[in-house]
Structure formats: C-alpha cells, structure tokens
Amino acid sequence: MKTLEIELGVEGARLADLTDACARFAANEEDGLLHVFVPHATAGVVVMELGAGSEADLLATLDRLLPRDDRWRHRHGSPGHGADHVLPLLVPPSLTVPVVGGRLALGAWQSIVLVDPNVDRATRRVRLSFVPA
C-alpha cells in the first residue's frame, strides 16, 4: 500500500478541492483503490459537483441541519462548535474512489472535496492511500 499525507491551509475556507492532489497521487499507478481519510473529528470528505452553486447549496444545507448556536452540549471553541462534532454523521471522514489505469474513475462533474466548517483550525491533514488491485 502506498500512502501520502498532505497538509492544507483551510483558514476561512469551508470547502477545499482535493481532486488534483488525489489525481497526482494516483497518476503512476495502475488499477486499484484510492482511499481518502481526514484524521479530524470536525471535518469530512465527499464526492460532489463543484461550481454551478453546489458549494453554496451544501453549506446552506449544513447550516440548516447543524446550526451554529448555543444548543450544543459540546461548547469549547467558537460559538456553535458543537455542530462541527456532529458533522461526521452527515459528512464521513473517509471515502474510496476506483483508479483505472492511473486515473481516478470519477464522473464528469465529480470532485473530491474536504468539508471543514470548523473555523478554529487553520490547517488540516488528509491521508491518501492507494491499494493496488
């Protein structure tokens, strides 16, 4: 198994496109599986379309489902930070993408995206692992 850990500056950004980094990591491989894992309790990763308003729709949905107010028992950090700790119920910390001939087998409009509503963190780590077929 081949692995790589990347670190991203995410301060102020709630979404980060990981697709290019994932594609570069898998580029010299043949067939197999790319596993993407975010080792943080308040961030996750999804496959979604970027552009055409999808990012705003995702963030608005998360804000509606997980309001950033004082209802949460988990209260350290910024106001509403408890919502960040519930995020993994909706946005998992990992995903797996097929790799065929060194290329990510994503659909035409699919991207691999880090979702990170936690404003208390300036950097995030993402672990990429390639398992050959």
Here the tokens at position 1 are: 């198994």
What is the CATH number that goes with domain 2-132? 2.60.120.460
pTM over 0.85: yes
DSSP state of 30: -
CA 119, CA 95: separation in Å to the nearest integer? Answer: 23
Report residue 114: phi and psi, to 5°.
-80, 130
- Exposure class string for 96-132: b at 16+ Cβ within 10 A, else e: ebebeeeebeeeeebbbbbbbbbbeeeebebebbbee
Question: What does the pLDDT read at residue 33?
Answer: 98
Question: What does the pLDDT read at residue 15?
Answer: 92
Per-residue pLDDT of the chain (133 residues; tens, 9 = 90+): 999 999 998 776 789 999 999 999 999 999 999 999 999 999 999 999 999 899 999 999 999 999 988 888 877 777 778 888 999 999 999 999 999 999 999 999 999 999 998 878 889 999 999 999 9
CA 75, CA 61: separation in Å to the nearest integer? Answer: 22
The ranges assigned to domains in the chain are: 2-132
